[in-house]
Amino acid sequence: MTSPDPQAIREQVSTALIEDLGGELNAANDITANLIDSNVSAKATILTREPCVICGVAWVDQAFALIDDTISLTWHVADGDKVEADTVLVDIEGSARGILTAERTALNFLQTLSGTATITAFYANILAGSQTKILDTRKTLPGLRYAQKYAVRCGGGKNHRVGLFDAFLIKENHIFSCGGIENAITNARKMMPTKPVEVEVENLEELTIALSAGADIVMLDNFTNEQIQQAVALNKGQCKLEVSGNITDERLASLSNLGVDYISSGALTKHVQAIDLSLRINLS
């Protein structure tokens, strides 16, 4: 499981710390931590108050390293691990000041990314045993696109396109502006013949046009289960089918039996329920 580029992680964490420290990466700006003598060392643990799937180890490591690279972390879990409530995730040792300055930024990344991984694992588990895979979308928190898509993979999901550059996704407004589905697909093939071409359709008539024009993937937008069954029969395996719109955990089980390839849900990354984590500190 490949994580985002280390430089990207460093930039994300650095930005968060700078935000916390008044505009510069300077631990001396933490006026509350400065109440503690600089020679005081401490040991600390991070634990989870609820069951979850872990994601964000590298972000936590980076947060402490940027504040004080002498702080040591000993992890008992890895990204993708499923853990129970009250599990100790990591032991930390070093400057009490440094630990407390980095604490909130480290926890913010860990609780957010673990939240994304946990809900993804919940969805993926519902689809287990079927051919249907859960996908994320571009509805990510600003600045955390690659991080959240990594978290989705940690939870057992699959990534949709990363952004606007790596695949065509021709939606209603594109279709209208291009003069129709067929024109849009033809233009895409001419422009970048190696890029995947996906088309969003709203009814079976549009699906027929998209299939005839040679779409690689067709997104069935807000189709009922009956309409999805009709679409699968009409498709006959010509392209991949993706279901999107009004995806709830209650509906997932029924969708997994309809023969579609993918279900995409923005809820994985935009409706983030952060995991309840706690850092406990003890003086050495």
Active site residues: 104, 139, 171, 200, 221
Q: Write out the two tokens for 243.
A: 């279901």
Distance CA 12, CA 23 (A): 14
Determine how many CB atoms are found less than 10 A away from the CB of residue 250. Answer: 8
Q: Write out the two tokens for 155.
A: 């939870």
Q: Write out the two tokens for 270.
A: 């935009």
Question: Beta strands 240-244 and 262-264: pairing type?
Answer: parallel
DSSP for 190-258 reads: HH-TTS-EEEEESSHHHHHHHHHHT-SEEEEET--HHHHHHHHHHHTTSSEEEEESS--HHHHHHHTTT
In three-state secondary structure terms, 123 is: helix
In the chain the beta strands, taken as DSSP E runs, fall at 41-48, 52-53, 72-75, 82-83, 88-95, 133-135, 168-170, 197-201, 217-221, 240-244, 262-264, 277-283
Q: Which residues contact 152 (CB under 8 A, 6 or more apart)?
A: 116, 117, 120, 136, 158, 159, 268, 269
